[in-house]
Chains A and B, each alone.
Chain A
């Protein structure tokens, strides 16, 4: 049986006049199944959000160009679907929660109008009925006093409530896949926990697939079944979250996990991954991670490591994955 969503070898570049093209994504592949939560991890600029936007068909125009690969959803390649057929999928079957709800909501429309728009566009509901459906949806995401607050504008809500509005919009048509692009980054810790709980509950209740983009490993560990670690536009490692967090196979994953603060770090410096992510316009030859990697050898500076399945369901793109696994097992 094929997966609900299957991204195959997706490559994408940004082009602008008078500059060489910049490869934002290279050979990204993963699958997502019904009822499953996949966390996409990585630093800023690693290609997490652009992957999500490619799936949603909302890449920034006219700069982005898909140079290869397919995005199969329920058997259809979203990249070759006609605009009209794609719109039937967008919102109704795949929906997205954006990072910053304030900028993702139209400032001059009331929130109910914006939620209701989905019912009007996709289901052709009359205005009044759509408004009622929108209010019901606001209740479903637990916005207090929904009927009265429906006619407020986005700026009149708190950050957490705004994020709930975004979630209400995304869930309005009961999609098969929900993409959440760092849905809690702009929120404080308590609200963050509430939003994550809400997302977890709703996706479970409705057996929705959740693609969760985050740079917060804690969030990923709490919510996800599997994880995809991205680095400089490529997949560094993928696999079930437990085994991956216990035994990372890529030095980058290992570095990320090592930089989570815990009791052992009390009073000392937090271990970090040295250096900065590479400018994707000027990737180092070989493995993009080699300048920051403690395991790097001559091979890493010339040969690009391919994503390699080394255990059931687990894959990593590293020449030295066996050494990394062995080191982790020894507690180094």
Chain B
């Protein structure tokens, strides 16, 4: 009877899960701004009609390169299409490239890095050598060559090329992180208690080794978006009639358009820059929050 009384008393001050470091993220104004930018851009990508009712393909050539006016906050592009509507509709493609690339790289790096790091030996040799080959290729030139082979390029073509060259570096992070955890005492303890290797990997190694990979992945979303724009400027990216910030920057940079109408360059660059920066800030904040050593 006395025991049940004690447990009653104690149950009032249950702690449950330890207070997550993630909650303290919101205290940083940089993080708040970054989160706001990412939320807005994500909404643009998912529901562009929330932001504009104008059809981005409803163009009037007589309005070509006309500056901002009432109802058209960003003016008109070369074809005389509403630029704000174009920017809003371009968010989806840009974000898709960044997010898909990061997500697929994450999955590949998680699996390959875990196997290589935990099992070592031949598995490690095969995976590490493959990644070394990839890392040895000059990415810029190789991407151009590959993309050039495709007549019509979709988001997935771009994602394919970006993933092809980005998984290797991410995988190495995961691999070294797993190798660090692999010989820790609690992994030995689990082995000593007869837990099989797959279960150890899944429930003990990966949860303790995945943090740097999460941070890397977040940082790489922005890089993917920037790369998409880069490919468009070089003429090997997406093409009209697709919408993307990269295409808009590319068009603005052609034929001296940006000298006549600098805003055509300014708006998509601003959006791309802000979003990329927001993902970098998010990644760095996550790193600080998830790394107990960096916490005060």
Chains A and B are bound partners: yes
Stretch at the interface among A34-42, A84-92, A308-316, A320-328: A84-92
Closest residue of chain B to A89, judged by CB? B194
Contact of B192 among A96, A100, A156 (CB under 8 A): A96
A145–B192 CB distance below 8 A = no
Q: Which A residues touch B183, using CB under 8 A?
A: 60-61
Q: Which B residues touch A103, using CB under 8 A?
A: 184-186
Interface SS, B side: helix
Stretch at the interface among B9-17, B134-142, B277-285: B9-17
B194–A88 CB distance below 8 A = yes
B4 to chain A, nearest CB (A): 10
* A106-B208, A148-B11 given; A91·B203 CB < 8 A: no
Bound-complex Cα distance A58 to B183 (A): 10
B80 at the interface (CB under 8 A from A): no
Closest residue of chain A to B184, judged by CB? A103
A56–B192 CB distance below 8 A = yes
Q: Which A residues touch B184, using CB under 8 A?
A: 103
B34 to chain A, nearest CB (A): 26
Q: Which A residues touch B6, using CB under 8 A?
A: 144-145
Bound-complex Cα distance A103 to B17 (A): 19
B57 at the interface (CB under 8 A from A): no
B190 at the interface (CB under 8 A from A): yes
Chain B interface size, under 10 / 10 to 19 / 20 to 34 / 35 or more: 20 to 34
* A60-B183, A145-B6, A156-B18 given; A106·B190 CB < 8 A: yes
Contact with A along B1-29 (1 / 0, CB 8 A): 00000110011001111100000000000
Contact of A108 among B14, B15, B208 (CB under 8 A): B208
Chain A interface size, under 10 / 10 to 19 / 20 to 34 / 35 or more: 35 or more
A104–B185 CB distance below 8 A = yes
Contact of B188 among A53, A108, A156 (CB under 8 A): A53
B120 at the interface (CB under 8 A from A): yes
A95–B193 CB distance below 8 A = yes
* A109-B203, A148-B7, A148-B14 given; A90·B185 CB < 8 A: no
B183 to chain A, nearest CB (A): 6
B189 at the interface (CB under 8 A from A): yes
B185–A100 CB distance below 8 A = yes
Q: Which B residues touch A86, using CB under 8 A?
A: 194
B186–A104 CB distance below 8 A = yes
Q: Which B residues touch A57, using CB under 8 A?
A: 191-192
A155–B194 CB distance below 8 A = no
Listed by A's residue number, 12 A-B pairs whose Cβ atoms lie within 8 Å are A62-B121, A104-B185, A117-B190, A117-B195, A117-B199, A122-B194, A147-B7, A148-B10, A152-B15, A155-B18, A166-B189, A170-B193
Q: A87-B194, A98-B188 are in contact. List 16 more A-B contacts (CB 8 A).
A: A61-B120, A87-B196, A96-B189, A103-B186, A104-B185, A104-B189, A105-B189, A106-B204, A109-B203, A121-B195, A121-B196, A151-B16, A152-B15, A153-B17, A155-B18, A156-B15
Q: Which residues of A contact B (CB under 8 A)?
A: 53, 56-58, 60-62, 86-92, 95-96, 98, 100, 103-109, 117-118, 121-122, 144-145, 147-148, 151-153, 155-156, 166, 169-170
